[in-house]
């Protein structure tokens, strides 16, 4: 099988400028490029951080997801992508940093011994769920083994 890896996630927003500013100020993303497609009523901004991109899209006449997605643990009651996850080395330090920027968590920190990780959720300015994940030592080792195999 030919190798592949996750390259970016696309997020639709009613206000591209507000969303871009939020991801820059709150998470440290930088704008890679912006492009308008006037024939389609579409504006995009591609943001980058740590070899991962977010494609922020503003589309004329777009509508919010209906019914709205619930906070965890009921966030998976709607089919489709429920959140995207960002891996961190120190979850508690990252959450403290985010709280210092005015971001509140939407669920208590969870530690899952079976999955070998801990995690916590926040929402972006449009209500999209972002999960921050810290791996336990044996899960980190496993991830490193996989990286070195390829």
The string of DSSP letters for 32-99 reads EEEEEEGGGTEEEEEEEETTEEEEEEEETT----SSPPPPTTGGGGSSS---EEEE-S-HHHHHHHHH
Flag whether 71 is in a domain.
Answer: no
Flag whether 8 is in a domain.
Answer: yes
Closest CA to 118 of 138, 98, 132, 103: 132
H/E element holding 129?
strand 129-135
Total domains in the chain come to: 2
Asked if residue 90 and residue 50 are part of one domain, the reply reads no
Asked if residue 45 and residue 104 are part of one domain, the reply reads no
Asked if residue 62 and residue 32 are part of one domain, the reply reads yes
Asked if residue 98 and residue 51 are part of one domain, the reply reads no
Who wins on pLDDT, 96 or 69?
96
pLDDT value at residue 142: 86
pLDDT value at residue 150: 61
pLDDT digits (tens, 9 = 90+) for 81-109: 889 999 999 999 999 999 999 999 999 99
Asked if residue 145 and residue 117 are part of one domain, the reply reads yes
Who wins on pLDDT, 130 or 144?
130
pLDDT value at residue 57: 98
Residue 145 clears pLDDT 70, i.e. is over it: yes
Flag whether 115 is in a domain.
Answer: yes
pTM over 0.85: yes
Portion of the chain with pLDDT greater than 70, in percent: 99
Asked if residue 62 and residue 85 are part of one domain, the reply reads no
Flag whether 74 is in a domain.
Answer: no
Residue 12 clears pLDDT 80, i.e. is over it: yes
Asked if residue 143 and residue 100 are part of one domain, the reply reads yes
The CATH number assigned to the domain holding 35 equals: 3.10.180.10
Residue 88's domain spans which residues?
A: 81-150
Rounded to the nearest integer, the mean pLDDT of the chain is: 92
pLDDT digits (tens, 9 = 90+) for 21-61: 999 999 999 999 999 999 999 999 999 999 899 999 999 99
Flag whether 24 is in a domain.
Answer: yes
Asked if residue 38 and residue 13 are part of one domain, the reply reads yes
């Amino acid at each position: 099988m030919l190798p592949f890896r996750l390259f970016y996630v696309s997020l639709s927003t009613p206000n591209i400028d507000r969303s871009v500013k939020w991801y820059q100020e709150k998470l440290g993303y930088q704008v890679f490029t912006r492009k308008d497609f006037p024939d389609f009523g579409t504006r995009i901004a591609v943001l980058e951080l740590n070899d991962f991109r977010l494609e922020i899209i503003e589309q004329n006449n777009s509508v919010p997801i209906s019914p709205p997605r619930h906070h965890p643990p009921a966030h998976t009651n709607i089919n489709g992508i429920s959140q995207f996850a960002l891996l961190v080395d120190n979850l508690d330090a990252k959450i403290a940093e985010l709280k210092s920027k005015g971001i509140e968590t939407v669920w208590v920190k969870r530690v899952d011994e079976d999955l070998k990780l801990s995690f916590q959720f926040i929402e972006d300015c449009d209500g999209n769920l972002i999960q921050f994940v810290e791996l336990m030592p044996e899960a980190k080792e496993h991830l490193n083994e996989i990286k070195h195999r390829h």
